[in-house]
Structure 1
Amino acid sequence: MTPQEMESRIVRYGDLQPCKTAFIDAHTPGSDQKENFTIIGGGVSESPDQHVHISIPHGFNIGAAGQPPKCRNSLHDHHTAEAFFVLKGRWRFFWGRYGTAGEVVLEEGDIFNIPTGIFRGFENIGTDYGMIMAILGGDDAGGGVMWAPQVIEDAADHGLILGENGKLYDSKKGQSLPEGVAPMPLMSDAELAKRPEPSTRDVLPNHVARYWDMMAMADKTPVQVIGENGLLKDKPGFEVGFMNRNSASEEMHTHRYPSVLMPMRGHWRVNWEAGNGYEAGSATLAPGDTMSVPEDLPHNAVPSMTGEASLYHVVATGDPAGPTWKG
């Protein structure tokens, strides 16, 4: 594979293709201006309009959400882990049956490994269009989204019905549930009662890492952010690392699984050696770009310009993408 062909494993921020009808709340006031991006993997979109940039299995999915100020994502849950870092803007994350159990505000660069088993939502509380980058455990991302009952009910009032097959049907487009397909059932009271309602105090220490704390910790060596030995100790099926200018190394290294590089600040030059059918080459990444590095390919990533530089790194571990909330 030539360096030019390797470019197909890079999704540039400016080339991201949004979907505005990805989920059941696409018509619900307050949530109807969301843009959803599926960058790597199949994602969890409920719409056939969702574009997938890179479909190569990685053991996890990479996506993004773009929202204007005051726009929110409705309360939902996944069967596997979900972690976000803020690329642009200021965001409030909230959780619980009605979104009132706890909340945290994240600034640019902060990362949140959201506990599974609880409904969560988020909104852009900044003054400009904001973007958060998402990591979902598993190649199939757990088979979809579980919505809080009121989200499904509100969506029906605005013309969107979710079938038990996980697909959306829009009455505003003349669509209806196909014969033999029932609506997605609401969670029962018994199921809802099993869901924990952790407070902000319970969640923050083990699930949130702040950008400037990580910048300080990465002064000499990269920081493992999410992982069995990470700042946020967990085994969600992937590990997330963080490095800055001081901890970047020109030493070549490889991974057993495809890995993903996601610059937060600054421009980064990624170099790779020849081998496994690949020619040697390099590429430069900017904030918002996402690069998939093939497994077993020797590579490095180093800042290519002066100034602030930071980068997130994601790689699968081969573990099941299991629950993060320990209770």
Structure 2
Amino acid sequence: MTPAMDMTARIVRYGELQPCRTAFIDAHTPGSNQKENFTIIGGGVSESADQHVHISLPHGFNIGAAGQPPHCRNSLHSHRTAEVFFVLSGRWRFFWGRWGTAGEVILEPGDIINIPTGIFRGFENVGTDYGMIMAVLGGDDAGGGVIWAPQVIEDARDHGLVLGENGKLYDSKKGQTLPDGIAPMPVLSEEELKAFPEPSALEVLPRHVARYRDLSAMAAKTPVTVIGETGRLPDRPGFEVELVTRGSAQTTPVTEPRPSVLMPVFGHWRVVWEGGSTILAPGDTMSVPEDLPVTLEPSMSGEAGLYRIRGTQDPAGETWKG
């Protein structure tokens, strides 16, 4: 039996999230300098020592979030492992390519995107209010950091931030300099940049983007696998993402062989386990231990949708199929 008090440390409430405003190299760059980054489960890919990690237990994947006011953007970067986002609030434009011009898509609450690995990507809040997107990164170490487009590193240097080859940020506005023996992170050469594909929206959208309304219709009676080997967006990025709705809520106990994570996007959800229960609201994150039976159902009327993430034994490797 898992006592209720033990589960408290595995629940992160939306209102208790601790932001970092200096997480990445573009923290001073105009247009990107108002964003907030959150590391919820796992160490993530933050380049700042100021980043707070809410839950450090390994899950086989990382959970994070980005909060941004209107017109604020996250600069072009790439990852070595999977990066999946779903929109919690606001209206967001995701774009990709060397200069961010290869393709784009607009996503709204509940919509989800599995951004192909090895492609430069960025995102911008194009709504009228502060918005939040939730992120799942493959692997416990999230692939060893971020690969920035050359212009991002150059722009950051002009505004006082230098990224060392050790993956740490140094802020000249605070009098910081690179330590002895640490060189600046080198920018990618033109030859290296050729390895980053430039797929069009027509190539990316069918296999990598799913709309919440479509998914909720599919999950009307049973949960639907969104990302996974047999998912609506077929992939094996080291984890699976499943959507549960009011009609497919599981009122009999469900046990997972590995730690899983519950993330409501619509409605309030009651989670019950031996020894306790809790109510989750949109933006809350709950880590469920392996082999713990839990029941899951909406606690109020109205729209109800929840993403469940579970680790798999697949390596968190390349996801772009070409």
Q: Which position in structure 2 is the counterpart of 1:314?
A: 309
CA distance in 2, matches of 1:219, 1:249: 12
After TM superposition, list the pairs within 5 Å mapping 1:19-38 onto structure 2. Answer: 19-38=20-39
Give a deviation string over 1:211-268, Cα, whole Å, max 9, x none.
0001111111000000000000000000000011000011111111100000011110
Give a deviation string over 1:275-316, Cα, whole Å, max 9, x none.
xxxxx2111100000000001111121101111111000000
Q: CA deviation at 1:179?
A: 0.3
Give a deviation string over 1:68-118, Cα, whole Å, max 9, x none.
000000000111000000000000000000000000000110000000111
Task: Tell me whether 1:326 sits opposite 2:321 in the alignment.
Answer: yes
CA distance in 2, matches of 1:266, 1:87: 12
Q: Which position in structure 2 is the counterpart of 1:276?
A: none
CA distance in 2, matches of 1:176, 1:256: 47
Q: CA deviation at 1:42?
A: 0.4
Q: CA deviation at 1:191?
A: 1.0
Q: Which position in structure 1 is the counterpart of 2:162?
A: 161
Q: Which position in structure 1 is the counterpart of 2:4?
A: 3
After TM superposition, list the pairs within 5 Å mapping 1:256-271 onto structure 2. Answer: 256-271=257-272
Q: Which position in structure 1 is the counterpart of 2:281?
A: 286
Q: Which position in structure 2 is the counterpart of 1:277?
A: none
CA distance in 2, matches of 1:171, 1:190: 30
Identity across the alignment (%): 75
Aligned length: 321
After TM superposition, list the pairs within 5 Å mapping 1:63-74 onto structure 2. Answer: 63-74=64-75
Q: Secondary structure at the match of 2:248?
A: coil
Q: Which position in structure 2 is the counterpart of 1:179?
A: 180
Q: Which position in structure 1 is the counterpart of 2:240?
A: 239
Q: Secondary structure at the match of 1:151?
A: helix
Q: CA deviation at 1:2?
A: 2.3
Q: Secondary structure at the match of 1:154?
A: helix
Q: CA deviation at 1:7?
A: 1.1
CA distance in 2, matches of 1:140, 1:4: 28
After TM superposition, list the pairs within 5 Å mapping 1:118-267 onto structure 2. Answer: 118-267=119-268
Q: Which position in structure 2 is the counterpart of 1:301?
A: 296
CA distance in 2, matches of 1:191, 1:118: 13
Give a deviation string over 1:15-57, Cα, whole Å, max 9, x none.
0000000000000000000000000000000000000000000
CA distance in 2, matches of 1:214, 1:106: 14
Q: CA deviation at 1:201?
A: 0.5
CA distance in 2, matches of 1:232, 1:300: 26
CA distance in 1, matches of 2:159, 2:108: 32
The alignment's TM-score, normalised by the length of structure 1, stands at 0.97
Q: Which runs of 4+ in 1 moved over 4 A?
A: none
Q: Secondary structure at the match of 1:312?
A: strand
Q: Secondary structure at the match of 2:237?
A: coil
CA distance in 2, matches of 1:195, 1:162: 21
CA distance in 1, matches of 2:72, 2:142: 24
Q: CA deviation at 1:189?
A: 1.0
Q: Which position in structure 1 is the counterpart of 2:91?
A: 90
Q: In structure 2, what residue type is equivalent to 1:191? A: E
The unaligned stretches of length 5 or more in structure 1 are 274-279
Q: Secondary structure at the match of 1:246?
A: helix
Aligned-residue Cα RMSD (Å) equals 0.6
Q: In structure 1, what residue type is equivalent to 2:179? A: P
CA distance in 1, matches of 2:267, 2:205: 28
Q: Secondary structure at the match of 1:215?
A: helix
Q: Which position in structure 2 is the counterpart of 1:18?
A: 19
Q: In structure 2, what residue type is equivalent to 1:266? A: G
Q: Secondary structure at the match of 1:176?
A: coil
CA distance in 1, matches of 2:57, 2:3: 18
Q: CA deviation at 1:4?
A: 2.4
CA distance in 2, matches of 1:31, 1:198: 25
CA distance in 1, matches of 2:206, 2:163: 36
Q: Secondary structure at the match of 2:213?
A: helix
Q: Secondary structure at the match of 1:249?
A: coil
